[in-house]
Structure 1
Amino acid sequence: MKKIVALVIGLGFMSAGLGQLNVLQQHLKSLLAKPDMENATLGFVVKDLSTDEVVIAHNEKATMATASTAKLFTTATNLLRFPSDYALTTKVYFTGFVQDSILKGDLVVKGCGDPSLGSKYFFEGEEKYAFLKQWSAAVQAKGIKRITGSVIADGSAYAQEGIPKDWTWNDMGNYYGAGPAGCTVFDNLMELHFKSGGIGSLTSITKVEPQMPNVAFENFVVAARSNTDNAYVYGAPRQTNRYVRGEIPYNRSDFVVKASVPDPEYLLAYSFKNELEEGGVVVEGAAEAVHSSRADLEEIYPVDDRIVTAFKGKSLLEIAVLTNHKSINLYAEQLLTWLGKDDQGNTSIESGLSTLNNFWKDKLSGGFEMTDGSGLSRTNRISAQHFVEMLTYMHQSKKMEDFETTLPIAGVSGTLKYVCNGEAGQGRIKAKSGSLSGVKSYAGYVYGKSGKKYAFAVVAQNFNTSSRTMVVRFEQLFNAIANM
């Protein structure tokens, strides 16, 4: 009798599963039949991880730009390559020698590519400046009251690409287009404060934070009948003349537009010099940014003999969690460069891409290629099948627990907080989302009500409707999987 009951229950679960699969198929069929999907490309696949069988698939091999879901490959590769507690250390040292409270030489910050230095994501409010105060105190603890040389931020361990080569002019000057650097600081982010008047009038920039005296802005932003930020900042890495165009809401006394920092090394040197001088240390030289190797900064003596202080950054896992939960492009690009570091500590975006693409080359089906670490590039070539193959690999790896920790939970956290909220998928979906103009994607895991775990990915591009409409349609797919 027990066997018969178990068989009946098993058949009941199978029937329910098939029923939900039919629901899933109908939702997919309905989505594809929408008039605004006529010219779109959609790739979709769901895999049962307990049986290693594909449950449903449509156009799953089509490679596309997938937006921020690409961050999954960057974070996964780092977690597989490094210990989860791996962290980088920024060092402060001096050249020359100290005599009679005078440093006869330069004070140097040796950048290491740590994105957590002064980051608002880890340090709130004034806490993000605490490292500068600690550094200044350490200099004074060495008995240094005067510096005859300069305060230098040395980012020369990083190649001078600035940003991935395929980013567009429309992106690179804005905050989401901040590129990686040897001396990343304050998230490589600037805030432009605007004041606006009547509709159609030219706005004014009232304040820039943090201060960078070598950067000038030409402002062409006008006031408009709008509640959103439609202003764009244009400027290449280390280009100190920036152009701001577009629109912001009218009659605002303080409206903030976010931009990328042109030269993070200079910002760090300038901020450190100011902190030293406020603490009473006289600096005779200037704030300097170093982007290529300089013989005068080479260690004549063991650097440990001249170390003033150091800043240990946040761990890889902590950075990866924020990268995926808050979809921080800078963090993803900085993690990409970690993958490209050679034995001498030098690194580049290109070497990071080479490492990432080579790592996955024999683990994925053909056609995969990443051209940046964050998904901002529209030349990435990733399919829904590639995502599910990677998710399967991670599911079977020793880093699965850590990797899954980096994924937002539907209806609960991160960029999925409002996805499937109050619906079947809430709490059952752990995934990364991605959005670009004309692109919407998701990839991750679903814990079905039957107890099964599924890997899934959906990528759509060139649809003729709003991103929000696509989210609603995708939620129907997600809920059906959750009910399986």
Structure 2
Amino acid sequence: MKEKSGFHAARRCNVCLLVLACLSLSTVFGYAQNSDNSDIPLAKTIDSILDAPAFHTAFEGVFIQRLRDRRVLYERNADRVFLPASNNKILTSLAALVELGPTYTYHTTLLAAGHLTRDGVLHGNLIIKGSGDPTLTDADLQKMAEEARKQGLRRVLGTLLYDDSLFDRQWLGDVWAWDDEPYYYSAEISALNVDGNLITVHLMPGKKVGAPVRVEISPIANYVRVENLGVTGPSKSQNTLFCTRLEGRNVLLITGQLPRDIKSSDEPTVRLTIVDPARYTATILLNDLQKEGIHFDHTRLVDISQEPNDAVTLADHTSAPLSTILRLMNKPSNNLIAECLLKTVGAKATGKGTGGIDGSAVQTARHIFQQAGLIMDEIRQADGSGLSRINFVSPHDLVLALSYLAEQPYFDVFYDSLPIAGVDGSLYYRMKGTAAAENCHAKTGYVSQVNTLSGYVTDKDGDRIVFSIMFNNCLAPYSTCTAAQDQIVETLANWSDTKTALKRP
């Protein structure tokens, strides 16, 4: 009898353990863990979207909260960490607004080191000094060259020096994909940038079949070398032309063929990254100065880390304020701006912006996140943009960041920087004709097998809802993931808290 009783006790124990194991697995493999305050019909609707067969490989994380009373409306794997992709820019925005402030501006300075005579001869060197401005353009450099001429400069007995020492020379982020290096979204990071650190390559057919394709490079052609293996193909032949930059080198490789009769509107134009942005900026400036009639006795560009004490300013370019720069970053999801902003945060706090997990940029940001109330063991930031494959953050932490920003006096600056559903930025084509259109302000994010969306939407009661929807390890098509995210946001836009609504006049 004792033996039989012991058997049943052990069996009951095993059943209990099995139930506990199943509950544990539901947490690991993506079942919702909704709070007592969650809306059951809303939760069922969101569950039905996320449980679609297309997402059977995916790891999903969702956290949805009403802003005014912090009521949790839905959560699934909310405290697990995910690759955020460009949702990382929410964290970068937070760090930049706290450390720099919305009125912060960058200054790029042209200095004369040496005696400038009345007849315009500089007995010394000209220096361009960067402060990390990611929005500087060739047109800005041209204006600086014009200003130098207005200041009387006609000849430089020395050469042009350039100073990018405010940032380190880790030009690429930690664990960025090596095969993305030539492409516009992986531009190198520097304290001295121009035109997004990109060149524009326009390709045209030659005059006869078999002739090399013609190549036009702007803003300057002499910074890169071209290996042109591309040829002109027969009329109506297939366009197989391919243009890239070789890894770690300022060498363009062109292969394939371009039909002789291709329409001019169909001629390929590609934007590719360059190596060493500071030297690239100095090369363009030197060209602009020479166009202004300023002669240099020596044209070998030299990098420096400190200006002489007697250097005087000839021209200074001031960027747009951070409030504008955030819009340029978040709406189109500009990676270079994000990287420069994060290193600027580190530079302002410590004197030099350094990259990587242990660099001044990330460490300064982590201090800000802690002060903002984020859960620090649910976040690891490795870069500013989200390109790194070792960025991790939980949906809960992203909602905490968004909620913190909503309480700050500069919230409108951040809110207005986000893409608006059906209106602009990376949400231009999404949620059109729904209750979320012109309503949802959110940051998108995408790298291979990662698709994220986090931001704000206003419900039927006029309450602002804060949400984070994150897909990792998702083998479903990109459009399937974004459609699911859009369905959830549209559901939130149409949601009404019946109890709250009944209490209102």
Q: Output the TM-score relative to the length of structure 1.
A: 0.84
Per the alignment, residue 494 of structure 2 pairs with: 483
Task: Give the conservation status (yes or no) of the 8 Å contact 2:243–2:253.
Answer: no
Per the alignment, residue 23 of structure 2 pairs with: none
Q: Which letter does structure 1 place at the counterpart of 2:346?
A: G
Q: Distance in 2 between matches of 1:36 and 1:457?
A: 20
Q: Report how far residue 164 of structure 1 moved.
A: 1.1
Q: Distance in 1 between matches of 2:240 and 2:329?
A: 25
1:57 aligns with 2:71: no
2:443 to 428, 432, 438: 432
1:276 aligns with 2:285: no
2:160 to 147, 151, 169: 151
Task: Give the conservation status (yes or no) of the 8 Å contact 1:438–1:464.
Answer: yes
2:278 to 255, 265, 277: 265
Q: Distance in 1 between matches of 2:433 and 2:422?
A: 7
Secondary structure of 1:472's partner? Answer: helix
Per the alignment, residue 235 of structure 1 pairs with: 247
1:272-302 C-alpha deviation (Å, 9 max, x unpaired):
2222222222111115151x52xxx53232x
Secondary structure of 2:169's partner? Answer: coil
Q: Distance in 1 between matches of 2:76 and 2:178?
A: 34
Stretches of structure 2 that go unaligned for 5 or more consecutive residues are: 1-35, 496-505
The answer to which of 443-452 and 398-407 deviates more is 398-407
* Superposition CA RMSD, Å: 3.0
Over 3 Å counting, the alpha-carbon distance change for 1:226 and 1:387 in structure 2 is farther
Secondary structure of 2:489's partner? Answer: helix
Stretches of structure 1 that go unaligned for 5 or more consecutive residues are: 1-17, 119-127
Task: Give the conservation status (yes or no) of the 8 Å contact 1:448–1:454.
Answer: yes
Per the alignment, residue 269 of structure 2 pairs with: 256
Task: Give the conservation status (yes or no) of the 8 Å contact 2:188–2:276.
Answer: no
The answer to which of 239-248 and 416-425 deviates more is 239-248
Task: Give the conservation status (yes or no) of the 8 Å contact 1:188–1:264.
Answer: yes
1:219-249 C-alpha deviation (Å, 9 max, x unpaired):
678999999998654423xx33355689999
Secondary structure of 1:95's partner? Answer: strand
Over 3 Å counting, the alpha-carbon distance change for 1:242 and 1:137 in structure 2 is closer
The answer to which of 186-195 and 421-430 deviates more is 186-195
Per the alignment, residue 383 of structure 2 pairs with: 372
Q: Report how far residue 354 of structure 1 moved.
A: 1.4
1:443 aligns with 2:454: yes
Q: Which letter does structure 2 place at the counterpart of 1:76?
A: L
Q: Which letter does structure 1 place at the counterpart of 2:316?
A: A
1:104 aligns with 2:123: yes
Q: Which letter does structure 2 place at the counterpart of 1:443?
A: S
Per the alignment, residue 104 of structure 2 pairs with: 86
Q: Distance in 1 between matches of 2:431 and 2:142?
A: 45
Instruction: Pick 1 or 2: higher relative contact order, CA cutoff 8 A, min separation 6.
Output: 1
Per the alignment, residue 5 of structure 2 pairs with: none
Q: Which letter does structure 1 place at the counterpart of 2:419?
A: P
Q: Report how far residue 390 of structure 1 moved.
A: 0.8
Q: Distance in 2 between matches of 1:407 and 1:63?
A: 23
1:411 aligns with 2:412: no
1:346 aligns with 2:347: no
Per the alignment, residue 94 of structure 2 pairs with: 76
Over 3 Å counting, the alpha-carbon distance change for 1:358 and 1:229 in structure 2 is farther
Per the alignment, residue 193 of structure 1 pairs with: 202
Over 3 Å counting, the alpha-carbon distance change for 1:161 and 1:252 in structure 2 is farther
Secondary structure of 2:329's partner? Answer: helix
Q: Which letter does structure 2 place at the counterpart of 1:313?
A: S
Q: Report how far residue 344 of structure 1 moved.
A: 7.5
1:392 to 387, 398, 403: 403
Q: Report how far residue 423 of structure 1 moved.
A: 0.7
1:38 to 44, 47, 56: 56
Secondary structure of 1:105's partner? Answer: strand
1:337 to 328, 336, 343: 343
Q: 1:147-226 counterparts in 2 under 5 A?
A: 147-195=156-204, 204=213, 206-218=215-227
Secondary structure of 2:104's partner? Answer: coil
Secondary structure of 2:63's partner? Answer: strand
Task: Give the conservation status (yes or no) of the 8 Å contact 1:156–1:182.
Answer: yes
Q: Report how far residue 112 of structure 1 moved.
A: 0.9
Q: Report how far residue 83 of structure 1 moved.
A: 2.5
Q: Distance in 1 between matches of 2:354 and 2:399?
A: 28
Q: Report how far residue 342 of structure 1 moved.
A: 4.8
Q: Report how far residue 185 of structure 1 moved.
A: 0.9
Task: Give the conservation status (yes or no) of the 8 Å contact 2:239–2:257.
Answer: no
1:299 to 292, 295, 308: 308
1:117 aligns with 2:117: no
Per the alignment, residue 483 of structure 2 pairs with: 472
Task: Give the conservation status (yes or no) of the 8 Å contact 1:212–1:267.
Answer: no
Q: Which letter does structure 2 place at the counterpart of 1:98?
A: L
Per the alignment, residue 328 of structure 1 pairs with: 334
The answer to which of 43-52 and 205-214 deviates more is 205-214
Secondary structure of 1:386's partner? Answer: helix
Q: Distance in 2 between matches of 1:225 and 1:137?
A: 47
1:453-482 C-alpha deviation (Å, 9 max, x unpaired):
111000102222211121112211111100
1:237-280 C-alpha deviation (Å, 9 max, x unpaired):
xx333556899999565201211121222222222222222222
How many percent of aligned residue pairs carry the same amino acid?
Answer: 27
1:313 aligns with 2:319: yes
Secondary structure of 1:170's partner? Answer: helix
The answer to which of 250-259 and 95-104 deviates more is 250-259
Q: 1:11-50 counterparts in 2 under 5 A?
A: 21=39, 24-50=42-68
Secondary structure of 1:184's partner? Answer: coil
Over 3 Å counting, the alpha-carbon distance change for 1:71 and 1:230 in structure 2 is farther
Which has the larger Rg?
Answer: 2
Task: Give the conservation status (yes or no) of the 8 Å contact 1:155–1:181.
Answer: yes
1:13-37 C-alpha deviation (Å, 9 max, x unpaired):
xxxxx9x955543443233333331
Q: Distance in 2 between matches of 1:84 and 1:420?
A: 30
Task: Give the conservation status (yes or no) of the 8 Å contact 2:188–2:277.
Answer: no
1:406-437 C-alpha deviation (Å, 9 max, x unpaired):
11111122111222100121122111111112
1:141 aligns with 2:150: yes
